[in-house]
Structure 1
Amino acid sequence: PSLAVELQVLNLVTSLFLRISPNHTAVSSTLEAFLEDRGYVMKGEDPLRRRFSNALQWYNTLQDRASHFIDELIDVAREERLREDQEEHEVPMETPAEGSTPLLRPSEYLRARCPICFGGKSGPSNQLNAFACIDAVFMQKNNKHASRDPLREHPKTVFIPESEVKLWEDYVAEVRPSQESKDEHSRSARNDHYEGSLRVPNSVLDACEDSFTAADGTRQKASTQFFDSTGLMGMLCRHDRVLWLVNMTSPGERQHYVFTLVERLFNHLPSMVHGWDSL
């Protein structure tokens, strides 16, 4: 190590970055100017930014690991207490979402993500009502030709592994029939007329349809020539709490991303939940 940073400074910057967009360059430049005014000149070009960023990153990693360790201790104590209560009242023991026995209520993961939506108990007399939405954003990309950082998975990650997404991608490709190529001149050759009782020409309706890009799997919204990760698709609850995210690697939105998220949701819900709706 070539730089030692006071923990209180790292705490200050961490709290600051929770309230503004992280900007290591601005913080480092401010610290350099602050120290230089007091006679402490750091030699070299960009002497602080990279080293300070590394120190902050590993400090935040240590914080995350410590928090995860404490959460695990609390979970173990909670399970022991629940087991004692259930044995005393002869109630069947709840199993994790991946277990063979159906859940009696939403999983610990969902209850931690949003206690309002998934907290409490659910059963035949206490029906679970939860809403989730899925949307995609193509602003988060990764340059295909840039070097990849070493794999560092957050202990509380919300990302679904790429291997799980790949399973659904292969399944959809297998069961979906091949689409016939569309005639590019089919619309231009069709006579322009009114559609039913709508006093709007078909040409106007077609132009409106062409301008609608949301959920259009055939429309390219990001280039796979330059990016290996083209965007993110996420599932959120009604309180805008992120439940899960998947990395998209296709130029547009695809069904298998939605299926991956929906399957993960149902794996963490009680067996009594058997339907869903989409808007």
Structure 2
Amino acid sequence: MLDFVNELFVRSPPNTTAWCDSLEAFLSSRTYKLESRDAIRRRFGNALQWYGNLIAQKEHLISGVINEGSLKYLAEAGSSLESDDIEGNQNYEPPPSSSPTSVADEASDDSDESHESKNTTNGESDLQRPSEYLRKRCPLCFGGDNPHDPNFMADIIVCIDACFTHKRRNPAKGGAKGPENLHPDTVFVPEKYVMEMKALVETVRPEKSKGKEKANVPSDGQPAEDSYEPGMKVPVSALEGCLASFIAEDERRTKASTQFFADTGLMAMLCHHDHVL
């Protein structure tokens, strides 16, 4: 039944409440009375969540075994190629001057050289390709043998997109966060890593104090001359206005929402095909 519901929710909007209400009505019509109303929904939701977790763990395990086998095969192929070269150099005997070199020997030598150069090229190209993780996220951006094209200005275009309407409410009981239950292929950055990067950014680029901002205002009250930052096509005044409006809106939103929500927004890095990286 869980497998059926899992496949159904792929093809229709997931709604465990409607499914459980229908199941309760179906059992009630056949004189199967439940102890309390809404007794199935919570248990069914937990069972479906853990079943999906098991399916994801299985797929992650299978893909890991396949990737490990492919890496092992590539390593063995590279070591066998090196051992063949060493043995060939040790067992090399120059042909006698009286016997001419046959055409077959020349053809085999050419094929060996082409095979060696092909393996060397493949090894070098693997080091220059994007990682397996990125190729899985978006094959259009990161796939292919040669993702770099000198005719284009950029190889990859990504963006940071934020959604402040996607919130997570504080639970009625207990803490704001439950036990860690991460998806095997999660794209969320751990909170610990985010805090470490935040501390690093604040160290490298400390926040300007309000006293310094007031000190930059001319004494005569006239606005300072506008300028352009290197590489930007809009004036500094436009950038500062955008930043000020964003900070004001973010502060107002934070004061209104942290009382009821554990998470007040969601931010993601996307490629230009809208695939989450």
Same fold (TM over 0.5): yes
Moved more, 232-241 or 78-87: 78-87
Aligned residue for 1:29? 21
Q: Is 1:78 aligned with 2:70?
A: yes
Change over 3 Å in CA distance of 1:72–1:39 after alignment to 2: same
Moved more, 107-116 or 77-86: 77-86
Change over 3 Å in CA distance of 1:52–1:14 after alignment to 2: same
Q: Quick one: which amino acid aligns to residue 138 of structure 1?
A: F
Computed over aligned residues only, the root mean square deviation of the Cα atoms, in angstroms, reads 3.7
Change over 3 Å in CA distance of 1:218–1:46 after alignment to 2: same
Q: Is 1:113 aligned with 2:137?
A: yes
SS of corresponding position for 2:11? coil
Change over 3 Å in CA distance of 1:43–1:123 after alignment to 2: closer
Q: TM-score by structure 1 length?
A: 0.63
CA contact (8 A) 2:167 2:264 kept: yes
Residues 177-226 of structure 1, C-alpha deviations (whole Å, 9 max, x = no match): 4232677xx9xxx99xxxxxxxxxxxxxx9xx97x789924532343344
Residue 56 (structure 1) shift: 1.1
Aligned residue for 2:33? 41
Aligned residue for 1:227? 261
Q: Quick one: which amino acid aligns to residue 188 of structure 2?
A: F
Mind listing any 5+ residue stretches in structure 2 that lack a counterpart?
A: 82-115, 223-236
Q: Is 1:131 aligned with 2:165?
A: no
For residues 77-226 of structure 1, the aligned pairs below 5 Å read 77-87=69-79, 88=81, 89=116, 91=120, 103-122=127-146, 129-144=155-170, 146=172, 147=175, 148-174=177-203, 175-180=205-210, 216-220=246-250, 221-222=253-254, 223-226=257-260
Shift >6 Å, 4+ stretches: 92-95, 123-128, 212-215
SS of corresponding position for 2:120? coil
Q: State the alpha-carbon separation in 2 of the partners of residues 215 and 108 from structure 1.
A: 40
Mind listing any 5+ residue stretches in structure 1 that lack a counterpart?
A: 1-8, 96-101, 192-205, 244-279
Moved more, 228-237 or 63-72: 228-237
SS of corresponding position for 1:134? strand
SS of corresponding position for 1:236? strand
> Which of 35, 42, 64 matches 1:50?
42
Q: Quick one: which amino acid aligns to residue 178 of structure 1?
A: K
CA contact (8 A) 2:160 2:268 kept: yes
Q: TM-score by structure 2 length?
A: 0.63
Q: State the alpha-carbon separation in 1 of the partners of residues 160 and 150 from structure 2.
A: 26
Change over 3 Å in CA distance of 1:93–1:169 after alignment to 2: farther
CA contact (8 A) 1:64 1:155 kept: yes
Q: State the alpha-carbon separation in 2 of the partners of residues 226 and 110 from structure 1.
A: 36
CA contact (8 A) 2:270 2:276 kept: yes
Change over 3 Å in CA distance of 1:160–1:139 after alignment to 2: same
